[in-house]
Amino acid sequence: MPAEIEPVRVKICGLSEPDTLDAAVAAGADWVGFVLFPRSPRYVSVERAAELRRRVPDTVGVVALLVKPGDAEIDAARAALPRAILQIYDDTSRCMAIRARVGAPVWQAIGVDRARDLPVESMLDGLVVESRPPAGADRPGGNGQGFDWRITAGWRAPAPWLLAGGLTPDNVAKAIRQSGARAVDVSSGAERASGQKDVELIAAFVRAARSAS
């Protein structure tokens, strides 16, 4: 009997409104993400994130995205989103220190543009592999920019990982096939304008990702 192939898992990030959050859950997203980084067009305060997360059933993971956070920021995020995975933009030692301090799962976001940027070891719970930000960008992710997905095809990933950066309903199936990813993450590609998620694009993204399984 051939082993069953698990469907590709999907994270919809940067949700900030109840209707699009509900649409992500209804479409079958595995994780929903809240951006706690003030310079992002998807920024939500911890108070708003706490309110929104009440709409998320226990079967769907919650991800809190933080950029170079201090301990106070981490504590505020944990208080607002107690069962959240922390998606952190910082170096490995800081990610490990956060994990040790709070005991929550930590995903490290890693910007890549060639195979040698891919880590060969990691003690973290997950890696979000995405493009490096364009020159002059004021945020390290969420820029709608992709990279050559073929670079991850032969990679022996040291931890579970998600492919991110520039994914859309139109390109995600190809990205999955070329990269070998079994989990994908989208923000800009499910928006009709910067920071404005769209219920149709969210549903189309989840459908397209699953069709590549």
Ligand X SMILES: O=C(O)c1ccccc1N[C@@H]1O[C@H](COP(=O)(O)O)[C@@H](O)[C@H]1O
Q: Which is nearer to ligand X, 7 or 41 (CB)?
A: 41
Using the rule CB under 6 A, which residue among 29, 77, 175, 186 binds ligand X?
186
DSSP 51: H
Q: Which stretch binds ligand X (CB under 6 A): 18-26, 29-37, 74-82, 170-178?
A: 29-37
End-to-end CA distance of the chain: 18
Token pair belonging to 122: 């990691």
Using the rule CB under 6 A, which residue among 188, 197, 201, 206 binds ligand X?
188
Q: Which is nearer to ligand X, 112 or 128 (CB)?
A: 128
Q: How far is the CB of 116 from ligand X (least distance, A)?
A: 21
Rounded CA-CA distance 131/180 in Å is 16
Is residue 197 within 8 Å of residue 20, measured between CB atoms? yes
Size of the site for ligand X (CB under 6 A): 27
- The closest alpha carbon to 110, from 90, 85, 134, 125, belongs to 90
Residue 65 binds ligand X, judged by CB under 6 A: yes
Residue 126 binds ligand X, judged by CB under 6 A: no
Q: Which is nearer to ligand X, 99 or 161 (CB)?
A: 161
Residue 165 binds ligand X, judged by CB under 6 A: yes
Q: What are the φ and ψ backbone dihedral angles of 112, each rounded to 5 degrees?
A: -135, 155
Q: Which is nearer to ligand X, 5 or 44 (CB)?
A: 44
Is residue 44 within 8 Å of residue 16, measured between CB atoms? yes
Which residues are within 8 A (CB) of 153 and not within 5 positions of it... i.e. 6 or more apart?
A: 178, 179, 180
- The site for ligand X (CB under 6 A) is made up of 13-14, 33, 35, 37, 40, 42, 65, 67, 89, 128, 130, 139-144, 164-167, 185-189
